[in-house]
Amino acid sequence: MRAQGTAQGTARGRGRSRAAAGLALAAVAVAALTTGCSMEDAICGGGEYPVMTVGGTGSACQPDGEAPPKGYVRYPEGKVPAHVDDKWDLYWRTHTVDKKGDIIEVPAGS
């Protein structure tokens, strides 16, 4: 009889462990949703904004409050990539801005 009680106790303990793990996972998911955390890779970290090269498809991250370095410009308003492979990240892989600030298609093979 004692062995049977031990098996039941072990099964009960596993059930509690699974329930606790499930609750922990749910808590992490809720925290991610409520804090705006995303599973996507951000283009830049906190306190930075993305800049792009003039005439090319290169990019960098610049500290907030600082002007882009020489040869870089801010992305046009409303066309700023936020996450790797988002709509604008993909777009700017084949487009750039020229020295006049016009958006142009990048020549093939560049």
Residue 40: predicted pLDDT: 78
d(CA 52, CA 68): 9
Q: What is the pLDDT of residues 66-95, one digit of tens each?
A: 999 999 999 999 999 999 999 999 999 999
Residue 34: predicted pLDDT: 36
The pTM of the full predicted model, rounded to 2 decimals, is 0.63
Residue 60 corresponds to which tokens in the numbers above? 């960098």
Q: What is the pLDDT of residues 2-46, one digit of tens each?
A: 555 555 555 555 555 555 554 455 544 444 443 345 567 999 999
Residue 5: predicted pLDDT: 53
| CB 91, CB 85: distance < 8 Å | no
Chain centroid offset of residue 37 CA? 8
